[in-house]
Structure 1
């Protein structure tokens, strides 16, 4: 029963979790790696994860935590690419296959990390404020404030871009 249940969970929720993590990290390859690792960890602890009130949130939170761990390790390593960052993944045409418009992804990537995380949980996972607050370890009022600021910033960029393109 556990393997079939996990397989169904993976099939039905992988893409949604990938979009949420991609919105949070802005790099398709990294997001895929993080989500794969998070699902692997979920499989290894499926007896606990399946009882979690929001297993998708568990996957995304785990992936984002892995990102922080990866960043901390990388920060200590010697930069092997002579200080040149890899190409901006937000310009990768393959991003559209994850269901995210590359222009929107670029805008999301400009937001502060916590705002991106709130957007990932509230918008991409469709969690309510309380569940988002619990998953991110912050107060519900902080979730609301981050969401409000993120939406205002995105709206400002989208309205400016729309007007510049000749829209009304």
Structure 2
């Protein structure tokens, strides 16, 4: 194995799960997230010399997966009606370390796409403001504004969910 292959293999092992969780949180469909993540890592392997020099290669992978999802959705939006209620709940099996809490996933799905992307990159991949801005191609101030609004909306949504659960008990 040459040095580039070893570097990519180590990168893949280290970032496979965090990237998958970030994509899963964004698209809310386990099978689609697996497919998108695999496609993004395949593209990263194909462009490894360039990706290895990227300031945040894991963010590059997640961004590529999300861009692939958008491209896929645009091609198929006239062919297939999206059913938000038909979410794959198998991703939430007990003991599944890659599953994201259902309440958080539902709250994330209610966010606008850009806010959801900022949360995924900042929280799931632990990027700083500059890294997130670079990955999304926006200004650092815009990242901070989106993150502030997203966290405020998530807090409100999760509090509402908790209150509704308390009332039903």
* Fold shared per TM-score above 0.5: yes
What is the rounded CA distance, in whole Å, between the counterparts of 1:110 and 1:87 in structure 2?
Answer: 13
Return closer, same or farther for 1:73/1:127 CA change in 2, 3 Å cut-off: same
8 Å CA contact 2:91–2:99 kept in 1: the answer is no
Query: What does the per-residue CA deviation read over 1:60-85, in whole Å, with 9 as the maximum and x for residues that have no partner?
Result: 01111101110111124x34xxx573
What is the rounded CA distance, in whole Å, between the counterparts of 1:74 and 1:165 in structure 2?
Answer: 36
Q: Which residue of 2 aligns with 1:30?
A: 32
Q: Write the mapping of 1:108-123 to structure 2, written as runs, cut at 5 A.
A: 108-123=108-123
What is the rounded CA distance, in whole Å, between the counterparts of 2:50 and 2:86 in structure 1?
Answer: 37
8 Å CA contact 1:17–1:56 kept in 2: the answer is yes
Residues paired across the two proteins, number: 162
Shift in Å, 1:20: 0.8
With normalisation by structure 2, the TM-score equals 0.87
Q: Which residue of 1 aligns with 2:69?
A: 67
What is the rounded CA distance, in whole Å, between the counterparts of 2:151 and 2:74 in structure 1?
Answer: 29
Q: Which residue of 1 aligns with 2:52?
A: 50
Any unmatched runs of 5+ in structure 1?
none
Q: Which residue of 2 aligns with 1:162?
A: 162
Q: Which residue of 2 aligns with 1:85?
A: 83
1:94 lines up with 2:94 in the alignment: no
Any unmatched runs of 5+ in structure 2?
none
8 Å CA contact 2:118–2:146 kept in 1: the answer is yes
RMSD (Å), alpha carbons: 1.9
* SS of structure 1 residue aligned to 2:77: helix
